[in-house]
Structure 1
Amino acid sequence: MCLPHRRILRAALLLFAITWLGAAASAQPGEGTLRVGSKRFTESYILAELLAQTAAPHTASPPVVRQGLGNTAIVYEALRSGAIDLYAEYTGTIALEILKGSPADTREAMNAALAPLGLGVAIPLGFNDGYALAVRAADAERLGLRTLSDLAKHPELKLGLSNEFLGRADGWKGLAARYGFTQTPTGLDHGLAYEAVAAKQIDAIDIYTTDAKIDHLGLRVLEDDKKYFPRYDAVVLYRLDLPARLPKAWAALQALEGRLDEHAMIAMNARAELQSVPFDAIARDFLAGTGKGARAEAREPRRGFAAKLFGPDLWQLARQHLVLVAVSVGVAILIGVPLAILVFPHVRLRALVLGFASLLQTVPSLALLAVLISMLGAIGALPALIALTLYSLLPIMRNTVTGLAEVPNGLRLAGTALGMTPPQNLRLVLLPLALPTLLAGVRTATAIAIGTATIAAFIGAGGFGERIVTGLALNDRELLLAGALPAAALALLSEGIFELIELAMRRRRGTPPSSLPLA
């Protein structure tokens, strides 16, 4: 490797390290900040806000709420790694999913099993939110469905179950074995399952017993007659260092013990799912003593699409989305272009590097984010930026190599004949001629990053994906569109900017606009 190439690579790696260090510093809150997490369903969003607002008057800085982090595996990994300090969990999930079937049936036993992990259980909130299966009431009457054993006798009925329930230790596999189910269920998002059963696309779904849409859609909850499901009492799962680190906030959180019952939780879920009331407003009303019941929420005005689209979080989400895209594509350019230049003369090495970059593109984004959380011990911007950078490398590297390969051999030799050194030939001849193709790769990488950045909301990295994730949890189409439309507008804006850049380059070279072939 020649000296100029080494300098290019060294500079790129230095900029890469500086960028990540800055991102890591900005992504991690201060030591005195309470960090609250939530899973990706309505009740967990509300409970996260309830915990944060209860502690807020007793912390030096406002608590950071990491909403919608995904399923149990992701939010638990965030807690274990120290990326969050606590979140609302359920005793059945702790015993069977986190402790993997440990016979920890009391809080004391759970704390003894969790202590070696640096975790603990405290503050029982006062309600049980169990798993159950539900069917349409009309089907229950017609087929005589009262229990899960009755459901197992009708293999013709279609089951649509949440993906987490399908994979949980206390989920479908054990339930099917206990009751003898022979159906092959369809995996669905929890929020979308309600719409699917209402539209008669499926016949039975898994539900949480405090879901507001059970009564709203007229569903019949089937009795667990063989007692498969344990109790799922809501508690706080926390890091053991939290009480010593934030003693006043921890003392304030103790006041929530036993304060919530099933009716209060159902009413709060209804306000979110049926009236689109923001989660923070629901928590604020409850803490202020004005927790509204079902009758009160029925009279509340529903937020319209315009209010969701142009909500106060629009510019904050836009800024977060832009930063994720700009930094990840920028770092991908700093890494991908020098690396492509270095491997270009070596055919086998080039094929190996491009093949590895292509392999990265095949890794599902959520799986990659989960792996990065485990490796880095962090959630938020840092793992999201790394994932987006990895996805951006292939189009940039491939187009750089393609652009260099397209330079006519005569022009390469002309530069050498004029006495140019290889670095000069690269800088003055090859790269300028390859620039249009390279820029097309950056354009593609930017489009990929804008779309993929919406997935970053699953790990608390912000951006327009926050609205999409929340809309999925609430089955709120308007909120989904309020996140998807700005992301699409950003993609169109980026296309317009690249089109202007290419137009300026063509004018500078004095070449006519290229015509695009018709599909």
Structure 2
Amino acid sequence: MKMNLFLLVLAIIGLLSLTTVDAQENRLPLRRIIIGSKSYNEPIILGEMAVLLAEDAGIETQHRAELGGTRILYEALRSGEIDFYFDYTGTLIKEIFDGVLIRNDDELRAALAAKGIRMGKPLGFNNTYALGMKESRAEALGIQSISDLTSLALTNPQVAKLKLGVSDEFIQRADGWPGLQERYSLPFKVTGMDHNLAYRGLESGTIDLTDIYSTDAEVKYYKLRVLEDDLGFFPVYYCVPLYRKELETTAPQFIEVVSRLEGKIDNQAMSEMNARVQIDQVDETRVAAEFLNANLGMQIDLPTDSRWGKLARDLLRTTLEHLRLVAISLFAAIVIAIPLGIASFRYPKLGYVILGAVGIIQTLPSLAVLVFMIPLLGLGALPAIAALFLYSLLPIVRSTYTGLRDIPANLRESATVLGLDQRAQLWQVELPLASRSILSGIKTAAVINVGAATIGALIGAGGYGQPILTGIRLNDVGLLLQGAVPAAILATVVDALFGYAERFIIPAGLRVKAGH
């Protein structure tokens, strides 16, 4: 009876996972243009412009925002995970085609075409890389150019001890720190960090210098000095649309409407839009709509939702997405991990291998696992679910193994005397007796998954991690709490539900023993 209840709980988790999948898929149109964007304000605003232009023309779209850096977006475009996104010519030349001689836009366009990707014309602004530091600090040290950093470091101990913190992408890119350090012979070590957090590091004094984008609103807001690139290291970074070749035949009208942005956005306009989002905390969709209405003569209705109405809808959406990630990964882990735990107990030598393998998996950094999953499973929920599944294995396998191992020998002997075969012993004696330990492992895996699922937002999986990422990007504590608080509440609810389920799954005798 108890095992039947356990199987019923398992079936409910499985049904929830399938239901959330179906609900998610049913919300998406059959054929739509998937627009991607990087994880900072500017590409998200531009992505919203593309969405609004398409919707005005009756074209169905989906915007997968905050997907990471250039490599992730470019590979997603090549693999068909997305159909369209905005990137920068200098980034493409230095990062994607590093080592290939590309001298102008025509040669870059040809190189992309060879990969099945089309490049549109520039939107008008040049968002080049630069180094920036607080104006007051730069003035006090007499730093005007990047070369000054090298020369003054030899004579001024304060300059030699400057703390550099640069974005995680910049620290690895060919057009980033490695090439810059070599060109200028910079004698500094750098620390990698999120691009949005670096500005707060400058303000607080945690770091002295960081990489910036020339159209960033924070340059003016934080009173930064942009150091002159006097040796001309950084290339031109014109913003251009990239899209899959197939769109020319399957959705030519989309390419046509997005081309209306060509040459329409200069540096000042882009910087002002970035400021509207970053400083004034205006929604990206509204900022994009205001620009299109003012500069392209469109009549897009601006969002009129109340703050509380939007909050309620966003909370419902992120909750369903988060439950989807947790339910599917947990269901799959239960189905796989319990048999692995049984096998580990029955066959000790095999168990040594199994427990060692799931233990190693548990030690892998979650971000590294997610990135590794992208080439295999693409972007979105699937790689996040796969990663959560892997992290769920250890607590369930170990608890199953421990529960079976700790069954007293006299109880096993009694089952043998009664004439029960191994299969009957497992289902009628061993698993019921081990149920408290097994359920404890499942509960641990579920609570861990609720917290770990937030990182899935980095690859477009949604859930409570999405408002957390946006809150970091916009320096908005309210958005951070919009993701962090529900995640904590959900973890508490899950823990309580499993505690309640123990009354119906664990044999009464074992519950009494646990109470004592």
Structure 1-normalised TM-score?
0.89
Q: How does 1:381-420 map to 2 (within 5 A)?
A: 381-420=381-420
- Among 227, 242, 247, which residue is 1:222 paired with? 227
Q: Does 1:150 align with 2:148?
A: yes
Q: Does structure 1 retain, via aligned residues, the 8 Å contact 2:325–2:453?
A: yes
Q: Does 1:380 align with 2:380?
A: yes
- Which shows bigger deviation, 48-57 or 222-231? 48-57
Letter in 1 for 2:284: F
- Among 43, 59, 67, which residue is 1:69 paired with? 67
Structure 2 CA distance for partners of 1:390 and 1:308, relative to 1, 3 Å: farther
Structure 2 CA distance for partners of 1:499 and 1:309, relative to 1, 3 Å: farther
SS for the counterpart of 1:324 is helix
- CA distance in structure 2 between the aligned counterparts of 1:19 and 1:387, rounded to whole angstroms: 18
Q: Does structure 2 retain, via aligned residues, the 8 Å contact 1:27–1:381?
A: no
- Equivalent residue, structure 1, for 2:203: 198
- Equivalent residue, structure 2, for 1:78: 76
Residue by residue over 1:184-214, the C-alpha shift from the partner in whole angstroms, topping out at 9 and shown as x without a partner, is 1121111111111011111111101111011
SS for the counterpart of 1:313 is helix
- Equivalent residue, structure 1, for 2:269: 264
User: How many Å apart are 1:24 and its aligned residue?
Assistant: 13
Q: Does structure 2 retain, via aligned residues, the 8 Å contact 1:95–1:104?
A: yes
Structure 2 CA distance for partners of 1:514 and 1:342, relative to 1, 3 Å: closer
Q: How does 1:272-311 map to 2 (within 5 A)?
A: 272-289=277-294, 310-311=311-312
Letter in 1 for 2:102: A
- CA distance in structure 2 between the aligned counterparts of 1:490 and 1:204, rounded to whole angstroms: 40
User: How many Å apart are 1:274 and its aligned residue?
Assistant: 1.1
Q: Does structure 1 retain, via aligned residues, the 8 Å contact 2:315–2:482?
A: no
CA RMSD for the aligned pairs?
2.8
Aligned length: 490
Give structure 2 stretches of 5+ with no counterpart.
1-6, 153-158, 297-304
User: How many Å apart are 1:164 and its aligned residue?
Assistant: 0.8
- CA distance in structure 2 between the aligned counterparts of 1:137 and 1:330, rounded to whole angstroms: 55
SS for the counterpart of 1:310 is helix
User: How many Å apart are 1:391 and its aligned residue?
Assistant: 1.1
Structure 2 CA distance for partners of 1:181 and 1:23, relative to 1, 3 Å: farther
- Equivalent residue, structure 2, for 1:299: none
- Equivalent residue, structure 2, for 1:352: 353
- CA distance in structure 2 between the aligned counterparts of 1:107 and 1:30, rounded to whole angstroms: 35
Q: Does structure 1 retain, via aligned residues, the 8 Å contact 2:20–2:320?
A: no
User: How many Å apart are 1:59 and its aligned residue?
Assistant: 4.6
Residue by residue over 1:25-63, the C-alpha shift from the partner in whole angstroms, topping out at 9 and shown as x without a partner, is 9399666310011111111211111112211233553x1
- CA distance in structure 2 between the aligned counterparts of 1:373 and 1:29, rounded to whole angstroms: 21
- Equivalent residue, structure 2, for 1:454: 454
- Equivalent residue, structure 1, for 2:363: 362
- Equivalent residue, structure 2, for 1:4: none
Q: Does 1:241 align with 2:246?
A: yes
User: How many Å apart are 1:346 and its aligned residue?
Assistant: 0.9
- Equivalent residue, structure 2, for 1:52: 51
Q: Does structure 1 retain, via aligned residues, the 8 Å contact 2:21–2:324?
A: no
Q: Does structure 1 retain, via aligned residues, the 8 Å contact 2:388–2:452?
A: yes
Letter in 1 for 2:184: Y
Q: Does structure 2 retain, via aligned residues, the 8 Å contact 1:59–1:248?
A: no
- Equivalent residue, structure 1, for 2:302: none
- Equivalent residue, structure 2, for 1:441: 441
SS for the counterpart of 1:224 is coil
- Which shows bigger deviation, 338-347 or 203-212? 338-347
- Equivalent residue, structure 1, for 2:101: 103
Q: Does structure 2 retain, via aligned residues, the 8 Å contact 1:400–1:438?
A: yes
- Equivalent residue, structure 1, for 2:236: 231
- CA distance in structure 1 between the aligned counterparts of 2:413 and 2:54, rounded to whole angstroms: 70
Structure 2 CA distance for partners of 1:423 and 1:485, relative to 1, 3 Å: same
Structure 2 CA distance for partners of 1:94 and 1:372, relative to 1, 3 Å: same
Letter in 2 for 1:57: D
Q: How does 1:162-201 map to 2 (within 5 A)?
A: 162-201=167-206
User: How many Å apart are 1:400 and its aligned residue?
Assistant: 0.7
- CA distance in structure 2 between the aligned counterparts of 1:381 and 1:366, rounded to whole angstroms: 14
Letter in 2 for 1:465: G
Letter in 2 for 1:361: Q
Letter in 1 for 2:406: E
Structure 2 CA distance for partners of 1:27 and 1:372, relative to 1, 3 Å: farther
Structure 2 CA distance for partners of 1:392 and 1:511, relative to 1, 3 Å: closer
User: How many Å apart are 1:289 and its aligned residue?
Assistant: 1.6
- CA distance in structure 2 between the aligned counterparts of 1:513 and 1:443, rounded to whole angstroms: 19
Letter in 2 for 1:277: V
Residue by residue over 1:95-129, the C-alpha shift from the partner in whole angstroms, topping out at 9 and shown as x without a partner, is 01011242223222112112222112113111010
SS for the counterpart of 1:441 is helix
- Equivalent residue, structure 1, for 2:87: 89
Structure 2 CA distance for partners of 1:276 and 1:20, relative to 1, 3 Å: same
User: How many Å apart are 1:236 and its aligned residue?
Assistant: 0.8
- Equivalent residue, structure 2, for 1:138: 136
Q: Does structure 2 retain, via aligned residues, the 8 Å contact 1:309–1:479?
A: no
Q: Does structure 2 retain, via aligned residues, the 8 Å contact 1:55–1:250?
A: no
- Which shows bigger deviation, 334-343 or 487-496? 334-343
Residue by residue over 1:443-478, the C-alpha shift from the partner in whole angstroms, topping out at 9 and shown as x without a partner, is 111111111111111111110111111122223233
User: How many Å apart are 1:131 and its aligned residue?
Assistant: 0.6
User: How many Å apart are 1:379 and its aligned residue?
Assistant: 1.1
Residue by residue over 1:58-116, the C-alpha shift from the partner in whole angstroms, topping out at 9 and shown as x without a partner, is 3553x111111112222222111110011110000100101124222322211211222
Residue by residue over 1:266-307, the C-alpha shift from the partner in whole angstroms, topping out at 9 and shown as x without a partner, is 11111111122111121122122279xxxxxxxxxxx99x85
- Equivalent residue, structure 1, for 2:493: 493
Q: Does structure 1 retain, via aligned residues, the 8 Å contact 2:433–2:507?
A: no
- Equivalent residue, structure 1, for 2:36: 37
SS for the counterpart of 1:259 is coil
Structure 2 CA distance for partners of 1:399 and 1:189, relative to 1, 3 Å: same
Give structure 1 stretches of 5+ with no counterpart.
1-7, 292-302
Letter in 1 for 2:492: L
User: How many Å apart are 1:20 and its aligned residue?
Assistant: 13
